[in-house]
Amino acid sequence: MAEVLTISALNQYAKSVLDQDPLLRFVALKGEVTNFVHHYKSGHFYFSLRDESASVKAVMFRGDASRLAFRPEEGMRVIVRCRVSLYEATGSFQIYVSDMFPDGLGAAQMAFEQLRKRLEAEGLFRQEYKQPIPTTPRRIGVVTSATGAALQDIRNVLQRRWPLAKLVLAPVNVQGDKASREIAAGIRTLDSMGQVDVILVARGGGSREDLWVFNDEQIARAAFACKTPLVSAVGHEIDVSILDFVADLRAPTPSAAAELVTPDGAMVLQKLADISMNIQINMQERLHMCYNKLNEQFAQREQCSPEWICGTRQERVMQLAQNLQKVVQVRMNHHSQTVGHMAALSYSLSPYAVLARGYGLIMDDKGKYFTVDSVCEGDEFVLKGQKKQIRCLALKEEQHEELI
């Protein structure tokens, strides 16, 4: 008779067999989600995955579930990565899901819309949180594949437009299982450095499935938390990702992103040349104005100088002196004529004028003149003529009638 086992031992043995099988440790399954339950306390997902003819129970623990970019729904077709095992307590054969992806366009679009609405409700897309993009960055951080075409396109544009900028690369995988974690880590690394002026998250074109990684929630939250201005440059213009909504600026392609964050060097040089020419013209005009003003100051200074003042006043003094001389001469002539007339009049009244006509004057020895009427008989007197004088003696006094 065979050995009797307990149920616990049976379940334990069956679990160990399943756990030791290497083929069941990493399994990818595709199916439809049914009986989906999100346990509100634990945060775990409980559901079944089925195809046309069979189903299997599945559990996704909270740590793995929190990384999903979408919320699974009833009837959604998905692809899961999981391990196969047994739940000993109930003997339930089930899978433990570590990752999940939408399968098919409809499911992927549904997951995209779910995440977009949830992040939008949280405010991650609000315009008020968008940071301005620098116009002349010195260092540009790039989160992309080190071997991809996106990096080379960015380098070519920078070399042509703005070679002064330096690239700081955070090399990551842009597809695959680890891509989302690496991209989010690359954003955080460049932001924490504090040495770049702008960050470009870039990937070249590809299928929608190839670009799905940029719809990952952890990338979106890393971009929202980034203090450095961030530009999303994923795929082509028609490709839209969750990162495009969160980023401070969306560029249709990596090349366009490099153009949007840098100025055209040739235009900058031309603008600098125009500014330099305008400065020279303004300086020349100002110098000309200063020269004119200086000449005016010199002229005003000359007019205020002692030499100029003395020179102009000297002319005035000379003119006044000439006028004074003329006035003095006129007055002297007038007074000279007056004096001449008066002198002539005085001379005509002078006794000496009588002498010139042959008459004489009577005076005593002391030179005092007196009239004939004052001479008495016997008086001695001097009779003075123009050229000589005669001493006389009055011998006799005679009276005669007054002549008319």
DSSP 117-136: HHHHHHTTT-GGGPPPPPSS
State pTM to two decimals: 0.56
CB 201 within 8 A of CB 223: yes
Bridge partners of 215?
Answer: none
The residue assigned the tokens 């077709």 is 77
> Buried (b) or exposed (e) across 77-104, using 16+ Cβ within 10 A?
bbbbbbebbbebeeeeebbebbebbbbe
CB 381 within 8 A of CB 390: no
Q: Can you tell me the distance from the alpha carbon of 184 to that of 143, in angstroms, rounded to the nearest whole number? A: 9
* Closest residue by Cα to residue 96 from 148, 155, 18, 32: 18
Tokens of 3: 């050995």
Amino acid at 277: M
CB 61 within 8 A of CB 98: no
| Helix/strand/coil percent split, the chain, to 5 | 50, 20, 30
pLDDT at 394: 82
3-state secondary structure of 97: strand
Q: Can you tell me the distance from the alpha carbon of 286 to that of 120, in angstroms, rounded to the nearest whole number? A: 57
The helix (run of H) or strand (run of E) holding residue 86 is strand 77-87
Question: Which residues are CB-contacts of 51 (< 8 A; sequence separation ≥ 6)?
Answer: 30, 31, 32
pLDDT at 130: 95
Is the dihedral angle over the CA atoms 151, 154, 159, 164 positive or is it negative?
Answer: negative
* Closest residue by Cα to residue 102 from 32, 37, 205: 32
pLDDT at 294: 79
Q: Can you tell me the distance from the alpha carbon of 153 to that of 164, in angstroms, rounded to the nearest whole number? A: 17
The residue assigned the tokens 């196969």 is 84
Q: Can you tell me the distance from the alpha carbon of 307 to that of 59, in angstroms, rounded to the nearest whole number? A: 111
Apex 267 CA angle, 261 and 270, nearest 5: 145
Amino acid at 46: Y
* Closest residue by Cα to residue 127 from 242, 241, 249: 249
Q: Can you tell me the distance from the alpha carbon of 117 to that of 142, in angstroms, rounded to the nearest whole number? A: 28
* Closest residue by Cα to residue 70 from 184, 278, 217, 208: 217
* Closest residue by Cα to residue 171 from 182, 158, 157: 182
Is the dihedral angle over the CA atoms 289, 290, 295, 299 positive or is it negative?
Answer: positive
3-state secondary structure of 393: strand
Start-to-end CA span in the chain (Å) = 219
* Closest residue by Cα to residue 187 from 241, 215, 225, 153: 225
pLDDT at 106: 67
Backbone torsions φ then ψ of 16, nearest 5 degrees: -65, -35
Q: Can you tell me the distance from the alpha carbon of 196 to that of 35, in angstroms, rounded to the nearest whole number? A: 49
Each residue's pLDDT tens digit in the chain (404 positions)?
Answer: 567 888 998 889 888 988 898 889 899 999 999 999 998 888 999 999 999 899 999 999 999 998 887 788 888 888 899 999 999 888 899 999 998 888 876 667 777 888 889 899 999 999 999 999 998 999 999 999 999 999 999 999 999 999 999 999 999 999 887 899 999 999 999 999 999 999 999 998 877 777 888 988 899 999 999 999 999 999 888 888 999 999 999 999 999 999 999 998 888 888 888 898 899 889 888 888 888 887 777 776 666 667 666 777 777 788 888 888 888 888 888 888 888 888 777 777 776 777 777 777 788 877 787 877 778 888 788 888 777 888 888 888 877 766 55
- Alpha carbons within 13 angstroms on the beta-carbon side of residue 237 total 2
